[in-house]
Amino acid sequence: VSAPPPTARELARQVLAGECSAEQVARQHLERIARRDEALGAFCSTFAERALAGARAIDARRAAGEPLGALAGVPIAVKDNLCVADQPASAGSRMLSTLIAPFTATSLQRLEQQHAVLIGRTNMDEFGMGSSTETSIHGRTHNPFGHGLVAGGSSGGSAAAVAADLTPLAIGSDTGGSVRQPAAMCGVTGLKPTYGRVPRYGLIAYASSLDCVGALARTAEDLALWLDVASGRDSADATSITGGAPCLPSLTERADLRGVRCGVVRELNGPGIDEQVLRVTRASIEQLRELGAEVVDCSLPSTQHAVAAYYLIAAAEAASNLARYDGVHYGWRRGDAPTSSQETTRTRSEGFGEEVQLRILLGTFASSYGHSEQFYERARMARDAVRRDFARALQSCDVLLCPTAPTAAFAFGEHQGDPVKRYLCDALTVPASLAGVPALSMPCGATDDGRPIGLQVMAAHLRDELPLQVAHVFQQHTRHHLVRPEIAAGGGAR
């Protein structure tokens, strides 16, 4: 295990202090990506020229004595479904394989305003629909902790990039777990903020009432730094909100967890979860207790309907959002059909992969006239029940705990051909998505054969600082988040 390289916060400090230049940092990371990513497939492409030009501009500012922002010179990788001006953004899909983004997503603009350097785009399941980063046109992403293992998904590229030390901070998106689950499987820390806290403008839509921009890093401290910069109302996103306490300053408020009431969710800590995952997460909950937390039992009964409700709502919204890709308005088109309706059919049959087509069919059916009362409307009722359960549980608890995923990283192809098995992988993450509450995954140990395991920490609306504080205290006293895969030390993946 090698010493971990500097975190985002430490890098910004070094650049601000003039201990190294932003250009040096960018070059180092680009070179590391060039050397190590072939074995991983975490990146779709780098923004080398843009990144180096941006880094030089930052160094010039510093030389001129102008002030620099909180992310000065920090390289940041960006999931392939977030727009960066003049760069490709494909959401892992052939349908968008020809798109060059015309503008930069609001949440990324805010990072650049604080002088971060966007370094490249990371791989993902097509349109965010998946949990293993196996369905991208850019190929699969390998887990740095074991070749042949999935990195999780859909933000698998971002998780693998951070785990392999190719970037200190990576941006992802989380609709039903896509930041938290790959973070857990790759041994990094991932945050899905409160819905709306980080604007969605410039995020390629999957399911709009659930989509959140999130981030992955080695430490909770880096995620707090990111959230404080990226969050706040944006007039281009009507669902974006301002509010909540600044998170980074709040981390110094606690040296331990005395006075923090942690609810262990009965329904999300038992049947259906791998034995090793349960053993490791229980041990980490015990560590939280030793750090002063009060640990109590609690219940979210309606979460038994969460997976079904999530997949109906997400698919219905996806069917609507993806209707715009018709071979005329956007992106890729087949271009050789005799009539325009055949053109649309061919473009959509070949532009979308199998999983995406499955979701469009499911979502169209579930929300169609004559069926929506039976499916979509009932899913909405179940979602309301999940929301009420969270609100009630979070009246008496500060945070709620459960494993992030029912298993550690699995082998490529393991869930192919069985959508229900795939969808059940999300049972522990979709409840917080339906409720719109903040949720974080932190590394808390590993299986006997060294595959990382994550503990999920959820809190009430706009209380993002609570999971960040819990994770920060935990990381001050434990070493789980410091375990590096061999590839991070320059070796190959196992």
Among 283, 316, 113, 96, CA closest to 208: 316
In degrees rounded to 5, what are phi and psi of residue 331? 60, -145
CA 157 to chain centre: 10
- Minimum CB separation of residue 38 from ligand GLN in Å reads 26
Residue with Cβ nearer ligand GLN (154 or 321): 154
Query: Given the structure tokens 């994770």, which residue do they identify?
Result: 471
Q: Are 229 and 218 in contact (CB under 8 A)?
A: no
Rounded-to-integer distance, Cα 302 and Cα 386, Å? 5
- Minimum CB separation of residue 207 from ligand GLN in Å reads 7
Residue with Cβ nearer ligand GLN (69 or 152): 152
Residues 397-456 that bind ligand GLN (CB under 6 A): 426
- Minimum CB separation of residue 357 from ligand GLN in Å reads 14
Selected binder of ligand GLN within 92, 156, 177, 187 (CB under 6 A)? 177
Query: In Å, what is the CA distance from 10 to each residue of 15, 225, 264?
Result: 9, 11, 34
Q: How many C-alpha atoms does 433 have within 13 Å on its Cβ side?
A: 30
Among 59, 54, 91, CA closest to 356: 91
Residue with Cβ nearer ligand GLN (306 or 488): 306
Residues 12-31 that bind ligand GLN (CB under 6 A): none
- Minimum CB separation of residue 22 from ligand GLN in Å reads 32
Per the rule left: phi > 0, alpha: psi between -120 and 50, beta: everything else, 299 is beta
Rounded-to-integer distance, Cα 277 and Cα 374, Å? 36
* DSSP code at position 398: S
CA 34 to chain centre: 23
The two tokens of residue 180 are 């938290």
Rounded-to-integer distance, Cα 379 and Cα 326, Å? 28
- For the annotated catalytic residues, the residue numbers are 79, 154, 178
Selected binder of ligand GLN within 167, 178, 250, 456 (CB under 6 A)? 178
- The amino acid at residue 394 is L
Q: How far apart are the first and last CA of the chain?
A: 14
Residue with Cβ nearer ligand GLN (241 or 306): 306
Those residues whose C-beta lies under 8 Å from the C-beta of residue 275, and which sit 6 or more positions away, are none
Q: Are 99 and 204 in contact (CB under 8 A)?
A: no
Among 428, 443, 350, CA closest to 144: 443
Among 148, 83, 72, 157, CA closest to 116: 72
Residue with Cβ nearer ligand GLN (262 or 356): 356
Q: Is 312 in the site for ligand GLN (CB under 6 A)?
A: no
Residue with Cβ nearer ligand GLN (204 or 241): 204
Selected binder of ligand GLN within 314, 386, 401, 402 (CB under 6 A)? 314
Residues 117-176 that bind ligand GLN (CB under 6 A): 128-131, 154, 174-176
Query: Given the structure tokens 């003049």, which residue do they identify?
Result: 86
Residue with Cβ nearer ligand GLN (76 or 212): 212
- Minimum CB separation of residue 132 from ligand GLN in Å reads 9
Burial of residue 61 (CB within 10 Å: 0-12, 13-18, 19+) is middle
Query: In Å, what is the CA distance from 3 to each residue of 37, 270, 343, 389, 488?
Result: 20, 36, 55, 43, 10
Residue with Cβ nearer ligand GLN (177 or 403): 177
- Minimum CB separation of residue 63 from ligand GLN in Å reads 42
Q: How many residues bind ligand GLN (CB under 6 A)?
A: 13
- Minimum CB separation of residue 483 from ligand GLN in Å reads 25
Selected binder of ligand GLN within 206, 325, 332, 390 (CB under 6 A)? 206
- Minimum CB separation of residue 128 from ligand GLN in Å reads 3
Residues 278-297 that bind ligand GLN (CB under 6 A): none
- Interface residues with ligand GLN (CB under 6 A)? 128-131, 154, 174-178, 206, 314, 426
